[in-house]
A and B are shown apart, each in its own frame.
Chain A
Amino acid sequence: MPTRIPEVVRKAAFALTASTALLIGTTACTGQSAAGPEDDASKETTLTFWHAWSAPNEVKAVKALVAGFEKAHPNIHVNVVGNMTDDKINQALRAGGTKAPDVISSFTTNNVGKFCSSGALVDLNPFFKKADIDPNTTFPKAMNEYTQYDLNRCAVPLLGDAYGLYYNKTAFAKAGITAPPKTWSEFEADAKKLTIPQGDTYKQLGFMPNYHGWETTTEHYMGQFSPTYFDRSGRSTIATDPGVTDAFTLQKKLVDDLGGFRKLEKFRSGLGDEWGPKHPFQTGQVAMQLDGEWRLGMALEAKPGFEIGVAPLPVADDQADQYGKGYITGTIAGIAATSKKQNAAWELVKYMTTDTAAVVAFSNAIHNVPSTLAALKSPDLKYDPRFKTFLDIAANPNSTTSPASINGGVYLTTIQQLGYDYESGKVTDLRAGLKKAAEQIDTDIAQAK
């Protein structure tokens, strides 16, 4: 039979609940250290460095890079932790603590805006100034751009990725095409010539234009149209930027001309894994591929049975003078705001990202594009002659990237979503779709502020 709860029990229960509510107010704030770095980088210390590389050769390369640093700075020891995802890095940057990293590196540049605006990573401008290093003349333009937000440089490029065009030279010869396309008009014509139907599918597809395709993301395409994305007040310009409209129009035309969305999607769903040997470019199922510099090594390793050609991606017909540019992104490094060894951490970051010999050696080992202008020109770089295309794209001042935003890459996913809807025919009025997407981007940014 139920009885009245004793008063002392009720009071205790209330006190417990109330105290948990009070706890919220006291524990919810992570708080940031307002004081500047006070550690002495010349004294004996140990840093923790988190990175995302996981393949054995990559882990070995990171170890070699860090070993080089420790040799140059015998008093600073580095505890290297690999295979870290961005989720874990985010959590550690928020929580801090003794096991949290002092230095992090991340594969995606999408979070840079968030890291900078929130203060999760420290602003490196004072460090660069103190070291008398000018980031504007040290790093390629696009890389310099994606590592800062609103004049806060909270990240540094640590090797980069450049996007270009891979093409099947053997298929080109069979189709009577003598050179890689330089403009999108030429590209479109070549893609059609290279497409060989087989029943209701393809024996060979000239190019996979669907945004759900391999690396055919909106920002990779749009890099060739040099869009602005945002105006000076930070509002989205995608509805007014002709480059964005041109990119969407071209992509949709390619989808329609090469067989239509449904047919292409069905073909795509049967293709092999992007990171495996059955990648459709490597198997000869797709004759042209928009991809990063890493594809060359992977494709060669797969022994594809045809000659691989590499070239910059085409440009718009009215921008023919800018042929050679490309989309750039890459790995970034930064110092955790919660780190109590920021001066020592800066020594590590400075070494990894600005020491030409270190950057070149790391690039040689990882097969990514070097992230300083000096390293890009270094005679010590070892590479397949075709890799030079990506070095040139990275150094090209017209190459573009997608700028950092306060809410990370949310604006890119909004654009990507419009791309999905437009290519599938769900959205037919591109102008209206772009306007709506621009409003969404502005709303999302307002929500993040």
Chain B
Amino acid sequence: MAATHTLKAKHRRSALRTLAFLSPWLIGFAVFFAYPMISTVYFSFMHYDGFRPPTWSGTKNWTYVFEHYPFFWPALRNTLWLVVIMVTLRVLFGLGIGMLITKIKTGTGVFRTLFYLPYLAPPVAATMAFAFLLNPGTGPVNSILEKAGIPAPGWFNDPDWSKPALTLMFLWGVGDLMVIFMAALLDVPKEQYEAAELDGASAWQRFRFVTLPTISPIIMFAVVTGVIAAMQCYTQPLVAGKVASGVIQGAGTMFEPGYPEHSTLTLPQLVYNLGFQRFDYGSACVVALVLFALSMAFTALLMRRRGGLIQAGD
């Protein structure tokens, strides 16, 4: 009897110790994930303007967002566009630059710095600089294109070109990926290249069968973090649209993000628009949940697709 009691006390002590070690995570999880998550779900079913107490509204917010809110579907399409096109191009471009820099013999440091520096530019400043460079009327890019006899696009002022212009800007700031890829590429064992060369493998085959499998966990990391970043894309399209539209928010004027023709509208902008401009927290929560679900779905899909490429030791 006494032995059982001692054993139970030992288990309790062990459990409490475990709990004590886990508590920072548990508190962090509860405060920064569980509470906001549950709140978001809760408020998505409530009518809440931030001033009056929330009232139950059932699925009204969901119906409103999906059926009546005119900006939801364009924003979703734009966000998906950025996720697919921009992330793909960024990964390819980052990898390409990383490979080039690892190959060159002299001036590596200079090129590395040149490609990394734009990444350090604050998003608002970088966007304003690009809005200036790509200004259809006075921008130097279009002046050069026009002089060369190439039709100059409207960039941020043209709905067909605004997302490519944004993508161009994100490619310019690809320094973070370049550094990660460079580290991964330099980590590929040279013996494998030598063995492949002895087997008569071409440059493409060396890349396909040696480089790619070795750096695939890094590519996966770049894609997953890129997808999440694209999902959260807020500042750059907002600033670009605002600068290009020329509409300044002042007395009697309002600026709805997405200029031109909703082409730079993203889901995070809707969360802000609904929550903090329209005071419709319920609908903002619906959009936030859609964003969360999409992020989870993309990440899950990518993690499944990697097909065990990332091993325990990676």
Q: Are B35 and A20 in contact (CB under 8 A)?
A: yes
CB contacts (< 8 Å) of B248 on chain A: these are 274-275
Q: Are B251 and A108 in contact (CB under 8 A)?
A: yes
Interface presence of A30 (CB below 8 A) = yes
Q: Are A331 and B251 in contact (CB under 8 A)?
A: yes
Interface presence of A126 (CB below 8 A) = no
Q: How far is the CB of A383 from chain B (nearest CB, A)?
A: 19
Interface presence of A35 (CB below 8 A) = no
Interface presence of B202 (CB below 8 A) = no
Chain A, residues 373-401, CB within 8 Å of chain B (1/0): the string is 00000000000000000000000000000
Interface presence of B113 (CB below 8 A) = no
CB contacts (< 8 Å) of B42 on chain A: these are 21, 24, 28
Assuming the contacts A327-B252, A447-B283, asked whether A269 and B15 have C-beta atoms less than 8 A apart, the reply is no
Assuming the contacts A12-B19, A331-B251, A447-B64, asked whether A31 and B26 have C-beta atoms less than 8 A apart, the reply is no
Count of chain B residues near A, Cβ 8 A: 57
Q: Are A16 and B30 in contact (CB under 8 A)?
A: yes
Alpha-carbon separation in the docked complex, A118 to B52 (Å): 6
CB contacts (< 8 Å) of B244 on chain A: these are 269
Interface presence of A114 (CB below 8 A) = yes
Q: How far is the CB of A288 from chain B (nearest CB, A)?
A: 17
Q: Which of B1-56 contact A (CB under 8 A)?
A: 11-12, 14-16, 18-19, 22, 26-27, 30-31, 34-35, 38-39, 42-43, 48-54
Interface presence of A214 (CB below 8 A) = yes
Q: Are B12 and A447 in contact (CB under 8 A)?
A: no
Alpha-carbon separation in the docked complex, A110 to B253 (Å): 9
Q: Which of B119-141 contact A (CB under 8 A)?
A: 135-138
Cβ-neighbour of A90 out of B50, B61, B280 (below 8 A): B50
Interface presence of A167 (CB below 8 A) = no
CB contacts (< 8 Å) of A110 on chain B: these are 252, 254
Closest Cβ neighbor of B258 among chain A residues: A417
Interface presence of B250 (CB below 8 A) = yes
Q: What is the count of residue pairs linking A and B with beta-carbon distances less than 8 angstroms?
A: 168
CB contacts (< 8 Å) of B138 on chain A: these are 269-270
CB contacts (< 8 Å) of A206 on chain B: these are none
CB contacts (< 8 Å) of B52 on chain A: these are 30, 32, 118-119
Interface presence of B261 (CB below 8 A) = yes
Q: How far is the CB of A74 from chain B (nearest CB, A)?
A: 34
CB contacts (< 8 Å) of B137 on chain A: these are 201, 266-271
Chain B, residues 44-81, CB within 8 Å of chain A (1/0): the string is 00001111111000001100100010100000000000
Q: Are A447 and B68 in contact (CB under 8 A)?
A: yes
B residues near A, CB below 8 A? 11-12, 14-16, 18-19, 22, 26-27, 30-31, 34-35, 38-39, 42-43, 48-54, 60-61, 64, 68, 70, 135-138, 154, 157, 244-254, 256, 259-261, 276-280, 283
Q: Can you give 22 A-B contacts (C-beta < 8 A)?
A: A8-B15, A20-B35, A24-B35, A28-B53, A30-B52, A32-B52, A90-B276, A107-B250, A107-B251, A109-B251, A110-B254, A118-B52, A212-B246, A219-B252, A220-B252, A265-B154, A269-B154, A274-B246, A292-B251, A330-B251, A417-B256, A447-B61
